[in-house]
Amino acid sequence: MINGIIGRKIGMTQIFAEDGMVTPVTVIKAGPCVVVQKKSAAGADGYDAVQVGLVDEKPPKLKNVTKPMRGHFEKTGGGIPPTRILKEFRLEESSGELNVGDKILVDQFTDGDVVNVVGKSKGRGFAGTVKRHHFNRGPESHGSMNVRAPGSIGASAYPSRVVKGMRSSGHMGDARITVKGLTVARVDTENNLLMIRGAVPGANGSVVVVQKAARQRGK
């Protein structure tokens, strides 16, 4: 079995322990997923991996899928409905045998597992240096004209240009973010839910990938 699954972020809630301790968790509807394609090192691909699709409650009809994707799913033999989300997972020696059509469920996780979560952060549009890079504010006393300005961005004599990589205003968010070392607080196999302690990147309803951390896999 692969050490990961695709899901959608539902939102945040709380878990109460028997002693009254409260744990903030992010609820993720993980799977069910299905193996759509298998790649092998011996073949033309040159590496071992599987392509996994997230099965939606209302999968798209085959006639509404683009021609390239329609042909891709027809190669599976027609038994797999089209999926909107496809991700690839590398296979390891201890992954066991996986074939096209096999299901990947949330039961591969247990309480206390350490995982890494990959998602896309919320887009914030164009943002200044205070919001984007947490710059300090300037003095707000009478006559000050540098309240939220970034200040000096380089010398005028040499090198007479802005150095590459200078923190400045620009587009904020909408980027791939990986949060490592999160802990699985609870697994609901009946409803395909993962409750992960702490915050997970992305807006509610966005797609995330949950993978077991390397130290959890015994590496």
- For 51-81, the pLDDT digits (tens) are 888 888 777 777 778 888 888 887 776 677 7
User: What does the alpha-carbon distance between residue 190 and residue 14 come to, in Å, rounded to a whole number?
Assistant: 19
How many structural domains does the chain have?
A: 2
- Claim to verify: residue 186 and residue 159 sit in the same structural domain: no
Q: Let me know: does 172 contact 127? Beta carbons within 8 Å.
A: yes
List helix spans (H) across 5-89. Answer: 67-74
- Claim to verify: residue 134 and residue 49 sit in the same structural domain: no
User: Would you say residue 19 has pLDDT above 70?
Assistant: yes
Q: Let me know: does 34 contact 57? Beta carbons within 8 Å.
A: no
Position 85, amino acid: I
User: What does the alpha-carbon distance between residue 107 and residue 91 come to, in Å, rounded to a whole number?
Assistant: 18
- For 143-161, the pLDDT digits (tens) are 888 889 888 888 888 888 9
Instruction: Identify which of 64, 18, 200, 205 has the alpha carbon closest to the alpha carbon of residue 119.
Output: 200
- Claim to verify: residue 55 and residue 152 sit in the same structural domain: no
- For 154-195, the pLDDT digits (tens) are 888 888 899 999 999 999 999 999 999 899 988 988 888 999
User: What does the alpha-carbon distance between residue 139 and residue 181 come to, in Å, rounded to a whole number?
Assistant: 39
List helix spans (H) across 66-203. Answer: 67-74, 129-133
Q: Flag whether 88 is in a domain.
A: yes
**Res 121: pLDDT:** 93
Q: Flag whether 134 is in a domain.
A: yes
Do β-strands 49-54 and 176-188 pair in parallel, antiparallel, or remain unpaired? Answer: unpaired
**Res 42: pLDDT:** 78
- For 107-125, the pLDDT digits (tens) are 888 888 899 999 999 999 9
- Claim to verify: residue 57 and residue 90 sit in the same structural domain: yes
List helix spans (H) across 43-138. Answer: 67-74, 129-133
Least confident of 27-41, 92-106, 115-129, 173-187: 92-106
Q: Let me know: does 30 contact 193? Beta carbons within 8 Å.
A: yes
Q: What CATH number did the domain enclosing 8 receive?
A: 2.40.30.10
**Res 24: pLDDT:** 92
Q: Flag whether 218 is in a domain.
A: no
User: Would you say residue 128 has pLDDT above 80?
Assistant: yes
List the domain range (segments joined by +) for residue 144.
Answer: 128-172
Local structure of residue 62 (DSSP, 8 states): G
Q: Let me know: does 90 contact 47? Beta carbons within 8 Å.
A: yes
